[in-house]
C-alpha cells in the first residue's frame, strides 16, 4: 500500500498544472480580444464624440455663450478648439492615427469639462460615484484614458505605421548608456 504522503504531492502537481494550463488558455484567448475590443471602443465612443464636436461647430455661437457663462477664458477660441478636437480628433481616434497624443488631448479636454461644467459631479466622485459616472464627460474621459494607456490596438493606422516603419534600433534610451561609457 502506498503512503498518502507520497501520492499527495503528485495530485497537487497535477492540479497545479491543470490550473496553470487553463489560466494560460484563458489569458491567450483574452489577449486575442484586446484589439477587437479597442477597435469597438474607439468606434463607438469616438463616433459619439464626433457628433458632439460637429454639433458644437454647427452651433458655435451657443457654445461660445455657454463657455463665457462658465467663465472659461477666450470663450470663442476655446469653443472652436474644443469643437475641432472633438470633431476631427475623434476621426483620427476612430481610424487609429496619432491615437495616444489625441487621446491625451481629449482626456485633458474632458477633465476641464468636469472642472468647469460638472464640478459638483467631480467633487462627488467618492461620496456619490453615480453622479460622477453619469456626467456627460465621463464616457469620453474613460475611453480616452483607455486608448492613452493601452494604445489603439492592432486594427489601427498607428499599428500599420509601426509595422511599416519597423522598430527603431537606435533610440535615445539606448544611446545614453553608450555615450556615458565613452565619456568615462
- What is residue 11's predicted lDDT score, i.e. its pLDDT? 85
Look at residue 136 in the predicted model and tell me its pLDDT: 95
pLDDT at 172: 55
% of the chain surpassing 70 pLDDT: 87
pLDDT at 7: 72
**Does 181 map to a domain?**
no
The cell numbers describing 4, all together, are 498518502
Look at the chain and report how many structural domains it folds into.
1
pLDDT confidence bin for 91, thresholds 50/70/90: very high
* Residue % of the chain over a pLDDT of 90: 83
Mean pLDDT across the chain: 91
Q: What is the mean pLDDT of residues 39-55?
A: 98
**What is the extent of the structural domain holding 50?**
34-165
Banded pLDDT at 166 (limits 50, 70, 90): confident
Cα–Cα distance between 151 and 172 in angstroms, integer? 21
Domain assignment present for 112: yes
User: Between these two residues, 87 and 7, which has the higher pLDDT value?
Assistant: 87
Average pLDDT over residues 149-165: 95
Where does residue 98 fall: left (phi above 0), alpha (psi -120 to 50 degrees), or beta otherwise? left
Looking at 9-18, 27-36, 124-133, which range is the least confident one?
9-18
* C-alpha cell recorded at residue 101: 497624443
Residue 79 is placed in which grid cell? 469653443
Q: Which residue has the cell 504531492?
A: 9
Calculate the CA dihedral of residues 68, 66, 117, 93 and round it to 10 degrees. Answer: -110
**Grid cell in block for residue 156:** 489601427
pLDDT score of 125: 92
Asked if the structure places residue 173 within a domain, the reply is no
Can you tell me the distance from the alpha carbon of 99 to that of 149, in angstroms, rounded to the nearest whole number?
Answer: 10
Residue 136 included in any domain: yes
Q: Are 67 and 78 in contact (CB under 8 A)?
A: yes
Query: In whole angstroms, what is the distance from residue 22 CA to residue 125 CA?
Result: 38
Instruction: Note the pLDDT of residue 8.
Output: 75
Distances (CA, A) of 17 to 4, 13, 21, 28, 95: 20, 6, 6, 16, 42
Q: 92 in a domain, yes or no?
A: yes
In this prediction, residues 32-61 reach a mean pLDDT of 97
Q: Is the dihedral of CA 29, 32, 36, 41 positive or negative?
A: positive
Amino acid at each position: 500500500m502506498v503512503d498518502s504522503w507520497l501520492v499527495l504531492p503528485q495530485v497537487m502537481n497535477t492540479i497545479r498544472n491543470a490550473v496553470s494550463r487553463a489560466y494560460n488558455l484563458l489569458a491567450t484567448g483574452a489577449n486575442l480580444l484586446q484589439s477587437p475590443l479597442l477597435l469597438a471602443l474607439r468606434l463607438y465612443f469616438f463616433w459619439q464624440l464626433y457628433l458632439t464636436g460637429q454639433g458644437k461647430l454647427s452651433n458655435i455661437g451657443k457654445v461660445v455663450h455657454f463657455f463665457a457663462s462658465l467663465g472659461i477664458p477666450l470663450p470663442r477660441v476655446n469653443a472652436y478648439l474644443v469643437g475641432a478636437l472633438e470633431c476631427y480628433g475623434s476621426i483620427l481616434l476612430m481610424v487609429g492615427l496619432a491615437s495616444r497624443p489625441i487621446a491625451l488631448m481629449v482626456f485633458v479636454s474632458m477633465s476641464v469639462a468636469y472642472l468647469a461644467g460638472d464640478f459638483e459631479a467631480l467633487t462627488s466622485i467618492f461620496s456619490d460615484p453615480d453622479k460622477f459616472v453619469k456626467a456627460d464627460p465621463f464616457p469620453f474621459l474613460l475611453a480616452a484614458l483607455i486608448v492613452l494607456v493601452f494604445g489603439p490596438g492592432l486594427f489601427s493606422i498607428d499599428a500599420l505605421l509601426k509595422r511599416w516603419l519597423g522598430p527603431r534600433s537606435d533610440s535615445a534610451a539606448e544611446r545614453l548608456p553608450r555615450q556615458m561609457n565613452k565619456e568615462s
